[in-house]
Amino acid sequence: MKLKKKAILAVSTAFLSMSLLSACSDNSSAKKSTASESKDKQVTIKFYNWDNEAMAASTKQYIEQFEKKNPNIHVESVSLVPGNSLETLKKLDVLTASGESIDLAMFPSSDTLSQRAAQGVLEPLDNLYKENKLNPEDEYYVNPKYKGKYYGILNNVTTNFVLLNKDALDAAGLKVPKAGWTWDDFRDYAKKLTKGEGTTKQYGAYFHTWSLYANPVAQVQFKNPFMTEDGKTNFGDPSFEYFFNLRRTMEKTDKSIKPYADAIGAKLNYRTEFFNGSAAMLLAGSYMIKDISDLNQFPHNFKTAFAPVPVQSKGDKTEFFMGGNYLAVGKSSKNKDAAFKFARFMSTNLTDARTELPGWKKGDAKPLVEKWISGKEKNYDVDSLKYTLFSGDIKTLPASKVSITYASQLDKILTDGFSQFILENKSAKDVQKWMVDEANKVIKENENN
């Protein structure tokens, strides 16, 4: 990172000092001494996150590398709720409300970031970018704004794809899908990949309990998962009725996916469902690339293939939403420059410390991925991995112009609506109308506040 140079200022100060009267000269020397002490002053910044054991090891490397280059800045990593970003945000809100000084924090989405920006607890980054002669649009793929100001530094990107058990595919005589396959194709694959009964049954696919799986069409193929670009709810989109009915058919008729009630009741883990062979396909994201070769944590003996997210209809654009984690500087921080400096270091670092794809435009992710899988190629269908991540057949959606602070409320409406549909056997049309009505209430309420 290019640092702001102060050489000219230092020379000018020295020249002026020699030109002053002796009394003033003594005063100037005192000021220079104070400035030097301030520059070299040791500061400590706290970095709030949700690191689990594996993530903490990565963060530790980041900190060690950073402190080696910046000996006057000490970074303390604080994992509030290991492995749980949403619970971490709740604790972070409590700390903020109690007056705790927040230097730097990680956020799991642009919406959660915007919500805190609206509360006035985050520092706009515009001046920090300007002081460091940086244009964020040239630096990062996604740059969240709230009321025209930048608030988040994209540390890593999450791109969605489908993981497939390559051994199961081969046994069923199925090829690894390419960009442009549809959710109806996905359903057909799931039927053909389903085999066995009882506790040893292999389902064709697994859909987890998150809102992502209620309607991936909206969650992955729309610029904003909850809103249209003109600021209205997207819950009235035809894709909701389509995907809800697809889910019900796969669960009730095809019996190619594990029932939603079982996923909730047994608190199933999506990673476990795929790696233990209970499901042959899993809609997931780039955060799972390294998991595939971690046989100690996720023991399995099959090769994993990769496919782009299916589209709703043949011929639909293969453009997908890019998510990620964002670093934000706290408004209450007394060391904003140091916090920004560490955030920039983390987001542009492509060393062994990095375990996820970078959000930095100027960093080449291909060597990073090759390094991750080096010596472990037997676990990966390498060609399909590289195709899914780097093929020109797959595009990234441009960032949405819509920024809302109430995404969590809309997310709950979607989850509740899908639960009514799949558990209470209500019609998709009735549930969709309820979702639209509820979303409009939330939008109206927030617009009036």
pLDDT in tens, 346-376: 999 999 899 899 999 999 999 999 999 999 9
The answer to whether residues 390 and 297 belong to one domain is yes
- Within 41-176, residue ranges assigned H as helices are 53-69, 85-97, 110-118, 126-131, 136-139, 166-172
Model pTM score: 0.81
The answer to whether residues 32 and 63 belong to one domain is no
Q: Is the confidence at residue 9, as pLDDT, over 60?
A: no
The reported pLDDT for the residue numbered 396 is 87
The answer to whether residues 232 and 309 belong to one domain is yes
Please check whether residue 368 lies inside any domain of the structure: no
Number of domains in the chain: 3
Check if the beta carbon of residue 381 is closer than 8 Å to that of residue 176.
Answer: yes
The reported pLDDT for the residue numbered 39 is 52
The reported pLDDT for the residue numbered 31 is 41
Confidence of residue 262 (pLDDT cuts 50, 70, 90): very high
The reported pLDDT for the residue numbered 54 is 84
Task: Give, to the nearest 10 degrees, the angle between helix 110-118 and helix 407-423.
Answer: 130
The reported pLDDT for the residue numbered 253 is 98
Please check whether residue 439 lies inside any domain of the structure: yes
Please check whether residue 369 lies inside any domain of the structure: no
Which of left, alpha, beta for 120 (phi over 0: left; psi -120 to 50: alpha)? left
Q: Which amino acid is at 42?
A: Q
The answer to whether residues 4 and 34 belong to one domain is yes
The range of the structural domain enclosing residue 168 comes to: 160-321+376-448
The reported pLDDT for the residue numbered 209 is 95
The reported pLDDT for the residue numbered 261 is 97
The reported pLDDT for the residue numbered 405 is 82
- The pLDDT mean for the chain works out to 90
Higher pLDDT, residue 13 or 235: 235
The answer to whether residues 130 and 96 belong to one domain is yes
Please check whether residue 220 lies inside any domain of the structure: yes
Rounded mean pLDDT, 117-128: 96
The answer to whether residues 359 and 442 belong to one domain is no
Q: How far apart are CA 430 and CA 426, in angstroms?
A: 7
Q: For 296-314, how does the pLDDT look when each residue is reduced to its tens digit (9 = 90+)? A: 999 999 999 999 999 999 9
Strands 319-320 and 73-79: unpaired
Please check whether residue 218 lies inside any domain of the structure: yes
Structure tokens at 145: 């704004």
Q: At 426, which CATH number?
A: 3.40.190.10
The reported pLDDT for the residue numbered 144 is 85
Higher pLDDT, residue 217 or 6: 217
The answer to whether residues 266 and 207 belong to one domain is yes
Please check whether residue 371 lies inside any domain of the structure: no
Rounded mean pLDDT, 174-197: 98
The reported pLDDT for the residue numbered 448 is 80
Q: For 377-431, how does the pLDDT look when each residue is reduced to its tens digit (9 = 90+)? A: 999 999 999 999 999 999 988 878 888 889 989 999 999 999 999 999 999 999 9
The answer to whether residues 317 and 330 belong to one domain is no
Percent of the chain with pLDDT over 70: 91
The reported pLDDT for the residue numbered 2 is 37
The reported pLDDT for the residue numbered 240 is 98
The answer to whether residues 166 and 265 belong to one domain is yes
Question: In what helix (H) or strand (E) does residue 40 lie, and over which residues does it extend?
Answer: helix 22-40
The answer to whether residues 200 and 62 belong to one domain is no
Q: How far apart are CA 343 and CA 173, in angstroms?
A: 47
Please check whether residue 370 lies inside any domain of the structure: no
Rounded mean pLDDT, 152-171: 96
Which of left, alpha, beta for 277 (phi over 0: left; psi -120 to 50: alpha)? left
Q: Which amino acid is at 199?
A: T
DSSP calls for 218-253: HHHHSSSSSB-TTS-B-TTSHHHHHHHHHHHIIIII
DSSP class of 287: G
Choose the weakest-confidence range: 6-15, 83-92, 429-438: 6-15
The answer to whether residues 33 and 68 belong to one domain is no
Please check whether residue 181 lies inside any domain of the structure: yes
The answer to whether residues 218 and 296 belong to one domain is yes
Confidence of residue 228 (pLDDT cuts 50, 70, 90): very high
